[in-house]
């Protein structure tokens, strides 16, 4: 399988289990890896338009609220498989670099893998 990767998509969102997170929000970073057979022809119609992938991810992160980044990542993965018929599998990483933890932590992230059924 070939891959298309969008790495480091940054958004301000309101995800988390704590009340403060729903009010103040935080920065979230999303990586998406799409697995598919890439075309030999130079035609956008035969591949994935990653501007549409970006908009799908942006909508999930900025327009909805999830308590868990696990749920956010799974929703993005399912939505990508539903909207992109050429994609056979997807990996989504949702990073929460400023997770409310009692120490210094560079990053917390969840990674989900989904395949077309």
Q: Where are the domains of the chain?
A: 2-115
CA 28-30-32 angle, to 5 degrees, is: 170
Instruction: Please state the separation of Cα 87 from the chain's center in Å.
Output: 15
Which listed residue (23, 67, 75, 96) is catalytic?
96
Name the token pair of 99.
């997770």
The model's pLDDT over 56-94, given as tens digits with 9 standing for 90+, comes to 999 999 999 999 999 999 999 999 999 999 999 999 999
CA distance 103 to 78: 33
Please give the model's pTM, rounded to 2 decimal places.
0.94
64 is catalytic: no
The domain 2-115 is placed in CATH, from the list 3.30.1130.10, 3.40.50.880, 3.90.550.10, 3.40.470.10, at 3.30.1130.10
């Amino acid at each position: 399988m070939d891959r298309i990767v969008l790495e480091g998509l940054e958004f301000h969102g309101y995800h988390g289990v704590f009340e403060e997170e729903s009010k103040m929000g935080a920065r979230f970073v999303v990586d998406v890896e799409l697995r598919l057979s890439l075309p030999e022809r130079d035609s956008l119609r035969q591949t994935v338009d990653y501007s549409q992938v970006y908009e799908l991810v942006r909508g999930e992160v900025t327009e909805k609220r999830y308590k868990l980044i696990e749920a956010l990542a799974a929703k993005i993965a399912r939505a990508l498989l539903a909207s992109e018929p050429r994609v056979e599998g997807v990996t989504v990483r949702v990073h929460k670099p400023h997770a409310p933890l009692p120490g210094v932590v560079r990053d917390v992230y969840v990674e989900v893998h989904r395949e077309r059924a």
